[in-house]
Structure 1
Amino acid sequence: MSFVAERNANTKDDLLSGTADEYLYQRCLSLRTKLLRIRGLDHYFKLSAISTNSQQPSDPVSQLWDLFSFGAPLCYIFDQLPSERGFRKLNNSSFGQEQYNTNPDRTRKRAIVLFAMQILGPIVKEEIPGCDPFTVTDLWDRSSTNGLLKVINTVEAIIDRFPHCFFEETPSSSDMIVSLQSSIPAENIINIISELIVTERKYVHDLQSTLIVTTALSEANVMDQDGISLLFPELEKLVDFQSKFLTGLESISRLPWQEQRWGRHFFENEDGFATYMAYGFNYTKACTVVPTIEENLGHFQLIVKDLGGLSMQLVRPISRLCKYPLLLDCLIKQCSPSTYAHYSELQFGADAAKRVADKLNDAQRRGNNEHIVDGLRSRVQDWKGHHLNNFGKLLLEDVFMVTKSDTVWEYHVCLFEHIIILCQPEAGHRPAQGRKNPPLSRPRRTQDTLLLKGRIYWHDVTQVFPVPAQIPQIGIPVFPLCIWWKGDDALESFVLRCRTEYQMQQWEAMINSCIKSPRIAQDSETDSIYSLASSRTASTDYGVYYTRWAISQDMTTELGSMQMRQSSDSFWS
């Protein structure tokens, strides 16, 4: 593993050594500058670009990848080592034209193999201990930077042995260096881009540190691979993708302002962010096991603590992905089509970042719901003849203050594809504080045994609608959501007292979606009543909601409280 190979994993200092400057882009930029100063090496850059049938890339990572994959430059570098110290000459720094044209890949691979075999020799191991063994496949695999990092480690170790006379004072090909910006954007734009780059460097550095530590934990048998995969799924793949993403950001930042295509970089990499979805899905379950894992880290506890703890490492990828849309939106606000040539691309990039963040939130919600269903399976002892597996997927859940028959109860409400259920801790089977309108504080979540107190299948639900917001005496607004369903003998209802308008709208939309699902064909007489009443009111949403609420109150009065109590027995227990 390349990052582990860069550091000795025996001590805390070795594990966490290095600074935020040790990124692939910076290392390649520094090494490229050194290589361009080595006499006779500059022309290999152009040859390597021609050999890959591509235009000369501007970013140093691609340039060095092409250079080393050509093979001959590696042999040329090795041949600069003094033969009097026992270093054998490879004499393969140039290719015969006929031989190369016959099979260019074979010719390049042969040169790479000669170099790779030579660094395994005892003299190299003794004189140049920093060399990192690699294979042709390691270097040619462009889907991972691991092989490239191994070659960079080796080349850096070798050229550090060269005397000063081997280097020219200035790079021999100034045209290889990225030009300075020809135009300077506004200061606010510079600050936003700077924040994006600096925080991305820190983020990649933290990911690399996490990879190093988790590898050390695995090798020391402190954590098994299943535990690591739960907390940090496909971490090596994520580190590799994010390192490449940072390289792209670095490359863009060095271009003239009107050539910086920030939005394009995001929408071209949208598919690559799919690795994050496993983090979102596992997040809730991972958080539950973190305390136990941290208690058993042994002498690794201090190392993990220096990284912010496992909880911080868990949330870091999720926080970073949600940060991108905010940064791009800030950049959009500082630009305009008249001042930035790629403004529309920037908008597309921001949309791509938002789509990724939305997918991550959805994955996190699905993972959290799965965790909740597992909890329901173990906490609810009596399902009253129902089967949890028949409920469908869990769509929404929360703990609400619920009003029914002028009494307020605290319930854990779960909205499934086919049914809505209300549960209550066994120890809390009593009205909330014995009052009609208890304070609307955030309800407590416990792990007590749950009693199934209410259940309604969607084919029995007739209507859901918000009612005018209320502000109790304590000054905290309440956003009631009224749900009506068909009881045994009459229509019945209860009210979810939502804490925010967003929560109310979210639950209303999801319930309506379930009611109107193609699987549930309804012929509700109540729907006709509501439709008739709504057509006679103003077209505003508030007017419709207010009218529905008034009708609901009238219907409740007409049906009578006794009739309501009798019909609710089939639902409320």
Structure 2
Amino acid sequence: MQTDSTQSMSLSGHCANLLARLMHIRGFPNYVSLARSSHDSNDPVTQLWDIFALGVPLCYLFDLLPEDAGFDKINHSEFDEEQYNTNPNRTQMHAIALFAIQIRADNVTDKISDCEDFTVADLWDRSSTDGFEKAVATVTAIVNHLPQDVFITGPLEKLPPHVPLPNKAQETRRNNVIRELVETERKYLWDLEHMQNYAVVVAQSNLIDREIHHRIFANTSELVKFHRKFLVSVDANAGLAWEDQRWGLLFLEAEKEFGEIYVPYCANYTNIKFTPEQERNLSSLNHLMNLNGELPAFMIKPLGRVCKYPLLLECLIKTSSAANYQHYEELKRGLQAHRRVTDLINEAQRRAENERTVKSLRTRIDDWKGHKLKDFGDLVLDDIFEVVRMGEVASARSYSSRSGNSLLLNKGRVFLSDITQTVSNAEVEAMARHFLLTVHWKGANGPESCVLRLRREDQMKQWEKQINRLIQLPVKTSESDGTLVSDSDPDGPVPSPSATTPLQDIVHNDAPPEVAGAIPTSVKVKAHFNEDIFVFRVSPATEYKVLIEKIQRKLRLCTSAPPGDGPLQLKYQDVNGDMVMLGSSADLRIALEECRELLVLYVT
């Protein structure tokens, strides 16, 4: 785990400082020139990596350690150009191996305890910075133990970075955006590493099954490896003059990896849920990370971070122009590339949420009236709203099962092939505004219709768009029971507002109206208990049990007369002005979706 001091300096900063010290070691600049002949880069990480990869500079540094202090010489610091040209990889790897073997010697580890073991493959593999970071730590430790006479002017102190003062307000805003990008990226990487460390401890303690562990912490290691590399590029860009910074190229080149890593993580996030037994087992590690508070907050950070990048890129675009920034169009393409990533994530989340909904329907609907769920086609949208037929609100019936989940009664369905048109409009009542979508279809006894009373305009437009799209698709008859189903759409449907926060709604600030009204990353809750009122924030994905525990803690700490041992009862006022009882996570999600700005609870 990183300390605050190590967190405060990035890998790029460490490399820049170490490179500056190496340049003042007698004879070492010659190796820097050799490395530059193959790769011309201003990035201190790349520069130092190229130098280390030669192998012989590492051996040269080790041989500068005083022999009379017990350090044996490697005697392999001469660069053989003929041998290098014949087989460069073999020559370099041989020198690295000699150095790696020498630093494992007992007399070295006893005298230089900060040396970290690494293999040739660790340093050779540039897909991850893990091995390179070990080499940086080891070389830094060796340089710290070198005698003063090997330095031309003595070891250098850390040089403060030169940051030109902005002469315009636009430059100030741009510098602030870049500073925020760099600093939050470092903090985010630390958070990922903290979560990875926790995952390792959980795996080693065997508190949960290996399969469950893999499902919960699916590709955390890949996230860490990717962002270690990504931070190197972020630091390198930030260290250049503005006209040479290429943030658009950075996101264009990282688009594929972003998608490969974040799509499965974000899709899997919607399915993470601990059983009571798993919660009891993991509670023994609450001293490392609290299961009910810290862990959910850490696990949602990747979703928040991937949404943050487009906002930062938009700010950079607004503070620059094609006239004063040669990479302006590239920057805009970088934003488009990352939006494609968030679109993929949003679609994966939608599919995962729909799969979970369909799985729930299998057990919650008791009587399918002879129909087979597998013949219904893919779920496109689902929501909870009132349906009006012949001027009356259709009653919704449910009853509780032994498992505690409410069962649903199948009251019928309408074939897509029978739907003829949809008509949308809005109505205003005394207590609330509704957005109405009238669906017309061909019934057995003539034309029929119903009205869907939706809470938001974007919901109405979404349902209207999808129904109209689906009724235009060719239909086919299922071979099993004659059920008419729609062919799947190769482009995929528009994501639905559900318990999963649509990422594209968060990211696309200039999106068209049908994707407006995004679910916020948190909802403000005002809870009334007797004469006391207290306010806090919750995630839209908060489970009912977690909300109850949070309220109980607030009551114990903030009220003069805390409740007894009996269960708490929660009510809220819906958009129609009715007081609605909360009793499950499903109820809570509806409440959080309806009351996006402020959810007012009445606790008894």
If the TM-score is normalised by the length of the shorter chain, which range does it land in?
Answer: 0.7 to 0.9
User: Structure 1 CA distance, aligned partners of 2:384 and 2:437?
Assistant: 14
Match of 1:156 in 2: 140
TM superposition score normalised by structure 2: 0.73
Alpha-carbon distance change, 304 to 183 in structure 1, aligned in 2, over 3 angstroms? same
Shift of 1:153: 2.5
Distance in 2 (CA, whole Å) between partners of 1:90 and 1:290 is: 57
Task: Quote the Cα distance in structure 2 between the aligned partners of 1:398 and 1:69.
Answer: 57
Q: Which amino acid aligns with 2:265?
A: Y
Q: Is the 8 A contact 1:179 1:255 kept in 2?
A: no
**1:484-504: per-residue Cα shift (whole Å, max 9, x none)?**
222211121112111111111
Match of 1:542 in 2: none
Report the Cα offset of residue 18 of structure 1.
5.4
- In the TM superposition, what is the alpha-carbon distance from 1:366 to its structure 2 partner? 1.1
Residue 520 of structure 1 deviates from its aligned partner by 5.7
Counterpart residue type for residue 430 of structure 2: Q
Deviates more, 1:23-32 or 1:260-269: 23-32
Aligned to 1:402, the other structure's residue is in SS state strand
* Residue 299 of structure 2 is aligned to residue 314 of structure 1: yes
Corresponding position: 1:102 with 2:86: yes
Corresponding residue for residue 58 of structure 1: 42
CA distance in structure 1 between the partners assigned to 2:277 and 2:341 by the alignment: 31
Q: Does 1:448 align with 2:433?
A: no
CA contact 1:61–1:247 (8 Å) conserved in 2: yes
The Cα shift of 1:306 comes to 10
* Structure-to-structure mapping, 1:456-495, within 5 angstroms: 456-466=414-424, 468-474=425-431, 476-495=432-451
**After superposition, what is the alpha-carbon deviation per residue over 1:113-167, rounded to whole angstroms, capped at 9, x for unaligned?**
1111112222222222332222212211111112212222322232232244433
Match of 1:325 in 2: 310
Separation of aligned partners in 2, 1:224 and 1:44: 51
Between 1:36-45 and 1:372-381, the stretch displaced more is 36-45
**Which of 249, 255, 260 is the aligned partner of 1:264?**
249
Q: Per-residue CA shift, 1:244-303, capped at 9, x if unaligned?
A: 2121121111111111122221122111101100122112211x3287644422442122
Identity of aligned residues (%): 41
Output aligned runs, 1:368-447, within 5 Å: 368-409=353-394, 424-426=397-399, 447=405
**Higher helix proportion, which one?**
1
Q: Is the 8 A contact 2:49 2:132 kept in 1?
A: yes
Q: Secondary structure at the match of 2:448?
A: strand
For 1:24-74, what per-residue CA distance to the aligned partner results, in whole angstroms no more than 9, with x for missing partners?
A: 223322322332232222221221232xx32x2111111121111110011
Counterpart selection for 1:84 from 64, 68, 73: 68
Equivalent residues in 2 for 1:474-553, closer than 5 Å: 474=431, 476-519=432-475
Distance 1:291 1:332, change over 3 A: farther
Which residue is equivalent to 1:220?
205
User: Aligned residue for 2:531?
Assistant: none
* In structure 2, distance between residues paired with 1:362 and 1:28: 40
**Per-residue displacement from partner, 1:305-343 (whole Å, max 9, x unpaired)?**
399612112210011111111111122222222232222
In structure 2, the CA distance between the partners of 1:124 and 1:223, relative to structure 1 (3 Å rule), is: farther
Report the residue type matching 1:500 in the other structure: R
1:178 is displaced (CA, Å) by 9.3
Q: Distance in 2 between matches of 1:291 and 1:79?
A: 59
Distance 1:373 1:169, change over 3 A: farther
Q: 1:74 to 1:20 in 2, by over 3 A?
A: same
Assess if the C-alpha contact under 8 Å between 2:279 and 2:291 holds in 1.
no
Judge conservation of contact 1:181–1:255 (CA < 8 Å) in 2.
Answer: no
The counterpart of 1:353, out of the listed 338, 353, 361, is 338
The answer to whether the 8 A contact 1:75-1:111 is kept is yes
- Does the residue aligned with 1:78 lie in a helix, a strand or coil? helix
Name the structure 1 match of 2:268: 282
- Assess, with a 3 A threshold, how the Cα gap between structure 1 residues 77 and 482 changes in structure 2: closer, same or farther: same
* One of 107, 128, 135 as aligned partner of 2:112: 128
**Residues 407 and 37 of structure 1: CA distance in aligned 2, closer, same or farther (over 3 Å):** farther
SS of structure 1 residue aligned to 2:35: helix
Distance 1:478 1:516, change over 3 A: same
- Gap regions ≥5 residues in structure 2: 478-604
Aligned to 2:281: 296
| In structure 2, distance between residues paired with 1:495 and 1:169 | 83
Equivalent in the alignment of 2:188: 203
**1:503-524 residue CA offsets vs partner (Å, 9 max, x unmatched):** 1111111111211113369xxx
Q: Quick one: distance in 1 between partners of 2:395 and 2:109?
A: 70
Deviation at 1:371, TM superposition (A): 1.2
CA distance 1:391–1:115, shift in 2 (3 Å)? same
CA distance in 2, matches of 1:32, 1:425: 70
Asked whether the equivalents of residues 166 and 172 of structure 2 are also in contact (C-alpha less than 8 Å), the reply is: no
Evaluate the alpha carbon distance shift between residue 330 and residue 294 of structure 1 in structure 2; reply closer, same or farther with a 3 A threshold. farther
Partners in 2 of 1:380 and 1:163 — Cα distance? Answer: 79
| CA distance 1:307–1:400, change in 2 (3 Å) | closer
The equivalent of 2:15 in structure 1 is: 28
Tell me, yes or no, if the aligned pair for 1:403 and 1:495 is still in contact at 8 Å.
yes
Contact 2:128 2:228 in 1 (8 A): no
Greater CA radius of gyration, 1 or 2? 1
- Give the TM-score normalised by structure 1: 0.76
Local SS of the residue matching 1:492: strand
Report the secondary structure of 1:394's partner residue: coil
Secondary structure of the 1:479 match is strand
Q: Given that residues 178 and 255 in structure 1 are in contact (C-alpha distance below 8 angstroms), is that contact kept between their aligned partners in structure 2? A: no
Q: How many Å apart are 1:410 and its aligned residue?
A: 6.6
